[in-house]
Structure 1
Amino acid sequence: MARHVARRDPRAHWFLLLLGVLLLLAALTVNALVTGLAGGSGPAGDGHDVAAPGVPKEVTTGGPVLRLDRDEPVSRAMPDRTVALTFDDGPDPRWTPQVLDVLRRHDAKATFFVVGARVNEHPDLVRRILAEGHEIGSHTFTHAHLGAASTWRRDLELSLTRKAIAGVTGREVTLLRPPFSSGPGALTAPEYDALRAAAGTGHVAVLADRDTKDWQRPGVPAIVEAATPQRGRGAVVLMHDGGGDRSETVAALERLLPDLTRQGYRFTTVSDGIDAPSSMVPASLDNRVSGTAMRWTQTGARWAAGAIETLLAVALVLGVARLAVQVVCAQRHVRRVRRPVRGRHAVTEPVSVIVPAYNEAANIAATVRSLVASAYPTLEVIVVDDGSSDGTAEIVERMRLRGVRVIRQANAGKPAALNTGIRAARANLLVLVDGDTVFQRDTVYRLVQGFADPTVGAISGNTKVANRRRLLGRWQHLEYVIGFNLDRRMYDVLECMPTIPGAIGAFRREALLALGGVPADTLAEDTDLTMKVLRAGWRVVYEESAIAWTEAPATLRQLWRQRYRWCYGTMQAMWKHRHALRESGAGGKLGRRGLPYLTVFQIVLPLAAPAVDVYAIYGLFFLPWTTLVLAWVGLLLLQAATAGYALRLDRERLGPLWSLPFQQVVYRQVMYLVVVQSVVTALVGNRLRWHRMVRTGDAAALLGPPADNGLAARR
């Protein structure tokens, strides 16, 4: 068809889309690493264990505070009747405030070993801990097992935690409690090596004399007993204020603090307990800025993850609701159109079939022969050759078929060709047909029967894919069947049909003339025209039994070009007819039913589809495989049920359903990338040019040689 001058398609958005996808994947990864963190401690040591290989005996038998940055390890312990309460795995928005409240009531100080990721989530709690005179230490960024982590992972965990605390408090920490640790006697060689490495960056390790195992929730009496030092000795007591239900810990504190206070114990921080300088020093500007940026990044990652999860939930609900509406409307439509209508006379008045053709040599002969062979009493066929260069007009003329006229014109575009045919038509009922389409013998007859209702201005037929032998053809076949047998039935019932396909549609001539013919200011002239007919007050219906076979794109490149034009043209038509939202009657139904439906399911959700693929990639690494498989199989079964139902309505075989799983790769991505390209093209104001599809003649092959199937030309 006509070739419009256009600027080169924009390209920068592909880089931005790829960058956005990578950033989204990174955000999901960050969120996965900092959420769902475990808690707990390791096996308890009593301070008299046999030294593990590689761990000096003076460490396993010494105090819980370890300085390991010297040639010989130095350990310190709490003085008698001095208890350093320590809390791991926080801050937690529920339990940390309760722990702080208990400590404040009893005028007790403690040391909190915080998880860096949770510091970023709850900065106000960290500031409250410091404001109330407590001490803060590092518990790594993601509660990582330092003894099992690689060197780079250990360094990253400690550095990120230090920066997170610096960004929130303006101070840097030196105390370190490794996750899953307990007493010195339980240290393994890898854990000891990890602590030695951490000492090189200024960290002082703090283990425990008394591990309450409160994360196991053994009961309040058991926690109190485990936390109580023996015979007046001092102790570093390990408890938890995060990582799970800490109600027993809070209750145990309420009993432990007054009990030990009566026994002459004092409660202090680790540093004060060993009479050491403050473990927290002013942070460098670099660490404060890095920590703040990291907190914003983590917050953004959490919002992004929440937004995607919300999007997926909304999309799922909309998809199920859409299917429910489609099924209900399809059932209603089937009952209506397949029920015998008494007293209605058959429509047999003359019909003019208009075939706009531009370089359709591969299929035009088959198209014309199928039309001439129609079982319809009075039929004329008008082929409008729109400046073809492949001999399309000559092919039709050499056929010398009765009732067939060829009109030649300079290349002006499909709408102009259609309007030429409309002006030349003799009949009041017009059938518009693409030049690559083949009709069945009864198609024309069945298509025009809806005009028995004088309120009907246009009728959509049922387009089927002819070249469905290959995988790409099967995918398009399923798409066509679902679109025609579910979407168009729904549109018919809701009286908001937005598109009569160019491959097969019937119109009242008076309606077209009143509207000024086929519009030429959008690339989806069929959608634009259908919307104009609706807004003029006519009904537009769907006839399932009027079947036309068309040739679908045979390559991904051709598919891209076709769908790009369709999508862009549809958006043009939607924008052009946006005022239908304020109209009443048929136009109002288009505006308040058809246009929102198109906006949500053909523009908004496809634009969000890349996020679904990103989430799927994320799920491969971070979600349980069972969850991922169940979600994928469930979605696939829903799609298969939808497609199977549509195939059944269309009396088609269910065989092509096997290709559905493969449709999720490549084909689905092409479809949503087409929408992305179309939206960007529209936003930047580019005018898309016509892309002609290369024809292979697969639709013509349905007829066979001219004398086959009783379709010999009438002379």
Structure 2
Amino acid sequence: MAADGSTNDRRRGKSALFVVACGWAGLIPHWLDPAVRLLPATSMAVLLGGYSIYTVLLPALGRSRSGAAVPAEPGGGPLPCPLPPVDVVAAARDEQAVITRLVERIAALRYPAEQLRLWVVDDGSADRTPQLLAELQGRFPFLRVLRREPDAGGGKSGALNLALQHAEAPWMLVLDADADLQPDTLERLIPWAVAGGWGAVQLRKAVANAQANWLTRAQAMEMALDAVIQEGRLARGGVVELRGNGQLLRRDALQAAGGFNEATVTDDLDLSFRLLLHDQPTGILWDPPVREEAVLSLAALWRQRQRWAEGGLQRFFDYGPGLFFGRVNGRRRLDLLCFFLLQYAMPMVAMADLLGAALTLTAPTIWPLSFVAFGLSGCSILLGCRRGSEGPPLPRMAPWNLALGIVYLGHWFVVIPWTSLRMALLPKRLVWAKTLHLGESGLEETAVEDPAAA
């Protein structure tokens, strides 16, 4: 699916409608009678907070008492024998710092060699990535290299579609170039996915450089929070979203959904909804995780989160009618609506509420809902980081770490309004920005930057 001007124009109009609706929702309470001014936010806090407790906290508390995984490990059925072929796919643009490490890590996987292929798409690299891949092909027979010109278009989605044209295995594992897998990942993941009948499975993302500084530590807590929320949503019949790195896709499910969308800046979030619309179930695994690098600076975080916010809104604008008025069942519709309001609408309404407070010299009115949202997020961080996990240690839940995680999440109250306004007001030219990966040298240089990161 390629980008076109009409798609971008429709998104711009829907973005404007979203901004106006959230703006009025935040402003109107300031002109209501003081006795009922807090009623809208309090009502939403009760409804959304209650749903979040039912969806996220209760399943998480149940797991902490029982130690069970969600969804439950399939039992009783025989493992597939022989194990099915798997194509591991990575798009690489200027990844000289990590590409050798990625290939060596795939070579270390305990999976039948004849059933495993690694496809690396050199997506117009201007550094030494092409030379390194040529050398690696001589060492590792399972490595296949595809090349695209720098102006090929379609971003990461275009690169993945090229790999999809060549790969033939029934399963595709999509990785970022900085991904790190445990040696037993595939021999555990593939049988689990086959036995469960999943169309896609997302591995929990674990931050490899959580000890680098306070920002990477906060991102590690955010990833644990995200996995807890996703597991809870799935446990209650809701929706699991793919996260790009560490996503296993069944080839026929991917093809039924139309491949990777080249008209979006977040191929993973977009694909999550298209799989849902095609009734392809998506699961999530806490262990084994996929490790990746967190960004090291606020500037890099700002660029990354704008892209995530834009892609997240794009998919709702593109597929909203099908999701809310199509064949998606009522439980999933409710799940999507609640988390759309919490993730995207609430930050916009909160910003409009602050504007209304300044204009009318009245107190903010959205605080009951914000209080509930931050409180539930803190509880989810606490449950996630106290849970046993394979991979990098999760941040210790000392009071200052928990406070850091909660305050850090406030950045979404800036990112979402800014991105929404930009999408509504400015003509859109799709730009697929990549995250800089530093590899082992970058991790070593920053490992002692924050000695208080216990």
TM-score interval for Structure 1 and Structure 2 normalised by the shorter chain: 0.7 to 0.9
Alpha carbons of structure 1 residues 371 and 481: separation in structure 2 relative to 1, 3 Å: same
Superposed CA deviations along residues 48-94 of structure 1, whole A, max 9, x for unmatched, are xxxxxxxxxxxxxxxxxxxxxxxxxxxxxxxxxxxxxxxxxxxxxxx
**Amino acid of the residue matched to residue 303 of structure 2?**
R
- Aligned match of 2:396 in 628, 632, 655? 655
Alignment TM-score, normalising by the size of structure 2: 0.77
**Amino acid of the residue matched to residue 351 of structure 1?**
V
- Aligned match of 1:475 in 218, 223, 227? 218
Number of residue pairs aligned between Structure 1 and Structure 2: 405
| Corresponding position of 1:278 | none
- How far the C-alpha of 1:453 sits from its partner, in A, is 3.6
Q: Distance in 1 between matches of 2:350 and 2:210?
A: 26
Superposed CA deviations along residues 321-369 of structure 1, whole A, max 9, x for unmatched, are 4033213344479355455612331462111100111122222222222
Matched-pair contact (CA < 8 Å) for 1:363–1:700: no
Larger radius of gyration: 1
SS in 1 for 2:68: helix
| Corresponding position of 1:242 | none
Alpha carbons of structure 1 residues 447 and 616: separation in structure 2 relative to 1, 3 Å: farther
Superposed CA deviations along residues 147-174 of structure 1, whole A, max 9, x for unmatched, are xxxxxxxxxxxxxxxxxxxxxxxxxxxx
- Aligned match of 2:380 in 642, 654, 674? 642
SS in 1 for 2:424: helix
- How far the C-alpha of 1:612 sits from its partner, in A, is 7.9
- How far the C-alpha of 1:527 sits from its partner, in A, is 1.4
- How far the C-alpha of 1:670 sits from its partner, in A, is 2.4
| Corresponding position of 1:251 | none
Matched-pair contact (CA < 8 Å) for 1:468–1:474: yes
- How far the C-alpha of 1:416 sits from its partner, in A, is 1.1
Alpha carbons of structure 1 residues 338 and 512: separation in structure 2 relative to 1, 3 Å: closer
- Aligned match of 1:380 in 117, 121, 127? 117
SS in 1 for 2:199: strand
Backbone CA RMSD of aligned residues: 3.9
Alpha carbons of structure 1 residues 313 and 661: separation in structure 2 relative to 1, 3 Å: farther
**Amino acid of the residue matched to residue 148 of structure 2?**
Q
| Corresponding position of 1:583 | 326
- How far the C-alpha of 1:639 sits from its partner, in A, is 4.6
Which has the bigger relative contact order, CA under 8 A and spacing at least 6? 2
Residue 505 (str. 1) matches residue 236 (str. 2): no
Superposed CA deviations along residues 644-684 of structure 1, whole A, max 9, x for unmatched, are 2112335355515532323455x334212111122223323
Alignment TM-score, normalising by the size of structure 1: 0.50
| Corresponding position of 2:448 | none
Alpha carbons of structure 1 residues 425 and 603: separation in structure 2 relative to 1, 3 Å: same
| Corresponding position of 2:84 | 349
Q: Distance in 1 between matches of 2:266 and 2:441?
A: 22
Residue 394 (str. 1) matches residue 131 (str. 2): yes
Residues 3-42 of structure 1 aligned to structure 2 (within 5 Å): none
- How far the C-alpha of 1:479 sits from its partner, in A, is 0.8
| Corresponding position of 2:438 | 696
| Corresponding position of 1:596 | 337
Q: Distance in 2 between matches of 1:497 and 1:524?
A: 17
SS in 1 for 2:100: helix
Which consecutive unaligned segments of at least 5 residues does structure 2 have? 445-454
Q: Distance in 1 between matches of 2:387 and 2:357?
A: 32
Alpha carbons of structure 1 residues 616 and 361: separation in structure 2 relative to 1, 3 Å: farther
- How far the C-alpha of 1:370 sits from its partner, in A, is 1.5
**Amino acid of the residue matched to residue 679 of structure 1?**
S
| Corresponding position of 2:422 | 681
* Percent identical residues: 25
Q: Which region of structure 1 is more displaced relative to structure 2, 350-359 or 668-677?
A: 668-677
| Corresponding position of 1:315 | 45
| Corresponding position of 1:67 | none
Alpha carbons of structure 1 residues 551 and 307: separation in structure 2 relative to 1, 3 Å: farther
Alpha carbons of structure 1 residues 635 and 545: separation in structure 2 relative to 1, 3 Å: closer
| Corresponding position of 1:183 | none
Which consecutive unaligned segments of at least 5 residues does structure 1 have? 28-298, 703-715
| Corresponding position of 1:369 | 104
Structure having the higher helix fraction is 2
Alpha carbons of structure 1 residues 372 and 497: separation in structure 2 relative to 1, 3 Å: farther
- How far the C-alpha of 1:446 sits from its partner, in A, is 2.5
Q: Distance in 2 between matches of 1:681 and 1:632?
A: 24
- Aligned match of 1:434 in 176, 196, 209? 176
Q: Distance in 2 between matches of 1:520 and 1:385?
A: 17
